[in-house]
A and B are shown apart, each in its own frame.
Chain A
């Protein structure tokens, strides 16, 4: 009780933890939003994500997620939550497993008790496991029937940077009930479970509502479970220039192109890659990719640039979607555009504009939910923060970054479209590119 009160008072007085601190067990990340009488509560089991799957057990965390859902349905928890106007969502990320309940605030307390009953009464049978495995297997096979960038990128990054594959029919089939039991046991004993809450209710009320869960965990003990670690495998490899082309997309009338520029590891400072990505294509307004490839060359409908990460690899992703007859021009021009970025005066002009408007345009990303997401993300990944933020980043630093990473040897390309035509374009214009043709079935092997 004393510890609980300390927790509540520290939470009320100090608010969410600073980004540099370790996340304490049962910490509540909270933001208020009074626009709707709703509460979204995420219970996050830190360290229990797909990153904890061993190479022989790829798919374990996902399988347990599906099994928890099936149990919830079978034992009537879903119906009970439905009656309260609450959605139950289970998500598995690389770093955590999360159970989320989102519904009418007036019923939040009851919903949390139902979820507590669910997670402490998990019972998996051989039959359920067989069912979930067959469902996941069908999902995998369905996924590859449509252009699936998540899996395609995963394959490209696994072949170039050594990240772990996230889908494998073989390891899925090999999972046993014993594996599931061990995972579930570790899940309940996870070292750090924290809460992410957005609500119209005040923070002390929320802390009270979460009490049944925290008390139950304390009572049952929390040792021997998952432990969060950012010591992911090293992913420093020579990547390119490499192009991944897939069979089975000859019917497409456009060529969907993605360039991935690997740039360091998770946990490093993010200012420079963020600034470059925003300069190239944050929102369409006047950013460089839109201005040049759509506005001037009229080669694409959609274009974007995003700064992303997968496991320990960080990369900037550039996207473009030319029609087949424009793909030759787009592919060659984009290749040149990327490698000549340090010497492109328009890049520096746009970067200057980006710096000048960054503060005012950032206002759109300050919703309570977005602030909450950022606070949690900072606490998990603990990326270093610089005094002065992005204003303290110099043009020389940006140039050094571009010269280091925006080079042909560091380009991973993915092209979805008619295979023979794309191969011909690459052979004609970019003969040094290592072309790797794959069948989509390899994505889930």
Chain B
């Protein structure tokens, strides 16, 4: 009986003492760094990497919604909210920044295509404060008239500053085609920003942004148990149901198309060619990273031949993941006299050549990519963003370190099928931003005998006409003089005399 009583007491206490978080994966990054992935509640995951190199920590929170997830004509709301949240939370104006500064911290926020990121950076003993601020921003951000009007001025200044850059405009056109949005712009249109009001923004904050899945990434000099305890206290009891938002699918209708726009004040043509590729997590993604490197290495590559021959001012290739899909993009800045078809042809040739890649070439490209991936371990902020991107785009933050293993397993024979499957014209689209063409006066044609004969005939015609007019004029004058004479008394007298003596008149 006593035994059962103990079990009953334990059963009563258990819900109060047990924690909600759960370890769901680990990944070894390097000799000293290990990433641990936890769920804190159904809407919140966390990745923790202990790094004691310096006595501070990076705390980044990712909300899985970005400006590409916003509806056409309503882009810019998330970016606007991001400004308000990091500036204010529920504190008095300026107070949050002051608290962060007083505690030796730093803060930053940014909105990407598919996630919104808030960064806090503090000395190691300020972890509790970081959680408190993060919680405050998540639950209690005040969105009132005062803060909205203030942020409008700042966001409009940011907007006007950015859009003067042609690279930015070209990027917006390019992604507009991918997402099927006519006016793709993460900051939003000026008129849209002007009309934002607190009620709508508050609604968006509560019923859209806060319903997104979140990931908190903590990298630094922290104690894992303490981190988990604090996250559990802050968020462990939040059991809001998960709402599933359909991922943005890229527009397939643009495939095979070559689009062009014109703009003023362009010193060069901006050329972008994109291919849809699988997302992070697919093994081919690592193979495509190898292709990327081979196309843009400093010598014996497409980039080297384009830049060295001055067909392009600059050329780069990128492989990136987005929500539910991936994209490989060639970007070039071309002098106005370089034909875009030439670039297309050179890309075809370069890709065809890569199908006969040697072991040595593959190893070199792999080593370079590993160098790039390892380099991020020196930079907590970029490492955290890689975890956040993998979570927002593919649902698993540990797909980012898994990429290292995938890269190590790629062989030369994997590359030709990857090129054949993804990097073909009917799976690509091209966008160019060129200078507005000035209408030139048509070139003068060389004159023939017929031209000269025509000119002479016209001239003769004109002279004849002129002669006729002059003759007519003279005749008219003479006629008028005659008329004057015939009506004069002298004429009447003569006439009378002539009539009398000349009966023919």
Question: Which residues of chain B are near A322, meaning CB under 8 Å?
Answer: 157
Give the segment of A292-300, A307-315, A333-341, A424-432 that binds chain B.
A292-300
A323-B157, A367-B53 known; A35-B32 Cβ under 8 A: yes
Q: Does B463 contact A (CB under 8 A)?
A: no
Q: Using C-beta atoms within 8 Å of the partner chain, give the interface range for chain A.
A: 35 or more
Q: List 16 A-B contacts (CB under 8 A).
A: A34-B30, A35-B33, A35-B377, A36-B374, A38-B378, A79-B300, A82-B297, A84-B367, A85-B368, A85-B370, A104-B367, A286-B94, A322-B157, A363-B123, A364-B121, A367-B53
A285 and B107 contact, CB distance less than 8 A: yes
Question: Which residues of chain A are near B299, meaning CB under 8 Å?
Answer: 73, 78-79, 82
A298-B153, A326-B157, A364-B54 known; A73-B298 Cβ under 8 A: yes
Question: Which residues of chain B are near A357, meaning CB under 8 Å?
Answer: 101-104
Contact of A353 (CB < 8 Å), options: B101, B163, B368: B101
Q: Does A86 contact B (CB under 8 A)?
A: yes
A35 and B378 contact, CB distance less than 8 A: yes
Interface string of A279-304 (1 = CB under 8 A from B): 00001111100110011001111100
Contacts A295-B97, A299-B157 given; 19 further ones with Cβ under 8 A? Answer: A73-B298, A79-B364, A83-B363, A85-B364, A85-B370, A142-B313, A284-B107, A285-B100, A300-B154, A301-B154, A301-B155, A321-B157, A323-B156, A323-B160, A357-B103, A363-B54, A363-B124, A364-B104, A367-B53
Give the segment of A174-182, A208-216, A249-257, A386-394 that binds chain B.
A249-257
Interface-central residue, A73, A85, A252, A300, by most chain B CB under 10 Å: A85
B157 and A254 contact, CB distance less than 8 A: yes
Interface residues of B in 108-161 (CB under 8 A from A): 121, 123-124, 150, 153-158, 160-161
B367 and A34 contact, CB distance less than 8 A: no
Contact of B371 (CB < 8 Å), options: A85, A145, A146, A299: A85
Question: Which residues of chain A are near B164, meaning CB under 8 Å?
Answer: 251-254
A291 and B94 contact, CB distance less than 8 A: yes
Taken together as a complex, chains A and B put the C-alpha atoms of A84 and B163 apart, in Å, by: 41
A104 and B33 contact, CB distance less than 8 A: no
Q: How many residues of B contact A (CB 8 A)?
A: 57
A353 and B364 contact, CB distance less than 8 A: no
Q: Which residue of B lies closest to A321 (CB)?
A: B161
Q: Which residue of A lies closest to B95 (CB)?
A: A286
Contact of A361 (CB < 8 Å), options: B54, B104, B158: B104
Question: Which residues of chain A are near B367, meaning CB under 8 Å?
Answer: 82-86, 103-104, 107
Majority SS at the chain A contact face: mixed
Q: Does B408 contact A (CB under 8 A)?
A: no
Interface positions of B (Cβ within 8 A of A): 30-33, 51, 53-56, 93-94, 97-98, 100-107, 121, 123-124, 150, 153-158, 160-161, 163-164, 264-265, 267, 297-300, 304, 310, 313, 360, 363-364, 366-368, 370-371, 374-375, 377-378
A35 and B150 contact, CB distance less than 8 A: no
Question: Which residues of chain A are near B310, meaning CB under 8 Å?
Answer: 138
Taken together as a complex, chains A and B put the C-alpha atoms of A273 and B106 apart, in Å, by: 22
Q: Which residue of B lies closest to A283 (CB)?
A: B106
Taken together as a complex, chains A and B put the C-alpha atoms of A401 and B115 apart, in Å, by: 46
Interface string of A349-377 (1 = CB under 8 A from B): 00001001101111110111100000000
A368 and B94 contact, CB distance less than 8 A: no
A104-B367, A104-B370 known; A82-B101 Cβ under 8 A: no
Which 4 residue pairs across A and B have the least CB separation, nearest first?
A85-B367, A360-B104, A285-B101, A361-B104
Taken together as a complex, chains A and B put the C-alpha atoms of A302 and B370 apart, in Å, by: 35
Question: Which residues of chain A are near B161, meaning CB under 8 Å?
Answer: 253-254, 301-302, 321, 323
Q: Does A37 contact B (CB under 8 A)?
A: yes
Q: Which residue of A lies closest to B265 (CB)?
A: A251
Taken together as a complex, chains A and B put the C-alpha atoms of A102 and B374 apart, in Å, by: 11
A103 and B371 contact, CB distance less than 8 A: yes
Q: Which residue of A lies closest to B366 (CB)?
A: A85
A83 and B364 contact, CB distance less than 8 A: yes
Q: How far is the CB of B488 from chain A (nearest CB, A)?
A: 75
B157 and A300 contact, CB distance less than 8 A: yes
Q: Which residue of B lies closest to A32 (CB)?
A: B53
Q: Which residue of A lies closest to B370 (CB)?
A: A85
Question: Which residues of chain B are near A295, meaning CB under 8 Å?
Answer: 93-94, 97
Q: How far is the CB of A314 from chain B (nearest CB, A)?
A: 26
Q: Does A200 contact B (CB under 8 A)?
A: yes
Taken together as a complex, chains A and B put the C-alpha atoms of A357 and B54 apart, in Å, by: 17
Taken together as a complex, chains A and B put the C-alpha atoms of A295 and B105 apart, in Å, by: 18
Q: Does A87 contact B (CB under 8 A)?
A: yes
Q: Does A434 contact B (CB under 8 A)?
A: no
Question: Which residues of chain B are near A200, meaning CB under 8 Å?
Answer: 31
Question: Which residues of chain B are near A317, meaning CB under 8 Å?
Answer: none
